[in-house]
Amino acid sequence: MAPLRFSANVSWLFPELPGLPARLRAAGSSGFEAAEVAWPYAEQPEALARAAREAGLRLVLINTPPGDREKGEMGLGAVPGRQAAFREGLEQAVLYAKALGCPRVHLMAGRVPQGADRAAVRSEMETVFLENLRHAAGVLAQESLVGLLEPINTRITDPRYFLDTPQQAAALLQKVGRPNLQLQMDLFHWQIMDGNLTGNIREFLPLVGHVQVAQVPGRGEPDSPGELNFPYLFQLLEDEGYRGFVGCEYRPQGDTVEGLNWLRSYWDRQGRPQAGQ
């Protein structure tokens, strides 16, 4: 069984360091082979691509732009009336993905509009999302890119987020039926919404294009105190034949590099993946 491949989420890790290029360098020197970044759009794509290359990293995931954060937007995929902005954001994400050699783009669903009742707007938002996903699948396919749907928990992190369970995401993927749209499995969010991780990992892994991890409920390192038994979960992913990346999207509890003991001991135990596997 191949060891898991880990990716440093530099939007979360190395908060000690200013700016993405410095964080990419730190990820490279910590032994990561890959990195991901939520929103790279404040940096020039060429400068970021160069920083990643120099750090010996490949970029494996970026998100579509959040929209107007001042107005509380957090992605636009399912937001009625924002279809044109979603498409513009998608073009920008594709431009960056190409420049960065990044194969995956998380298509952010966005939030239930302020003041609206979730149940009342659900079917309209689903219709908008399906239409945007069909459009996105076509645009991404032209560039051989994969689009990902990520459920985000509405209990703690983002109470108004539209897409919040693996079941909801899987149903949308089935309706759209495009092979280059997949599921992004963030075990932090999945545990909070649904638990039943063993069953859900086994059921949904065939749809999964990317995994992310953090301890629950504190969102710290996998070996920080909390509900999740990561040695068990990592073993399960290996046993189930997962071949994608596992993104470290957590909030370091102290110094990032010191906090990577869990990963160094994984590498000591399982070995590191061979480059290009």
pLDDT in tens, 149-194: 999 999 999 999 999 999 999 999 999 999 999 999 999 999 999 9
Distance CA 262, CA 7 (A): 14
Using a cut of 0.95, tell me whether the model's pTM lies above it. Answer: yes
> Is 249 in the active site?
yes
Residue 276 counted as domain residue: no
Work out the pLDDT band at 275, boundaries 50, 70, 90. low
Residue of 36, 73, 150, 221 with catalytic role: 150
Distance CA 222, CA 226 (A): 9
Greatest alpha-carbon pair distance for the chain in Å reads 52
Count of domains forming the chain: 1
* 81 closest CA partner among 94, 92, 93, 68: 68
> Is 126 in the active site?
no
Residue 252 counted as domain residue: yes
Q: Do residues 244 and 209 touch, judged by C-beta distance below 8 A?
A: yes
Residue 23 counted as domain residue: yes
Residue 210 counted as domain residue: yes
Residue of 33, 73, 221, 249 with catalytic role: 249
pLDDT value, residue 277: 44
Place of tokens 């997949």: 182
Residue 277 counted as domain residue: no
Q: What is the CATH number of the domain that holds 128?
A: 3.20.20.150
The yes-or-no verdict on residue 274 having pLDDT over 80 is no
Range of the domain at 55: 5-270
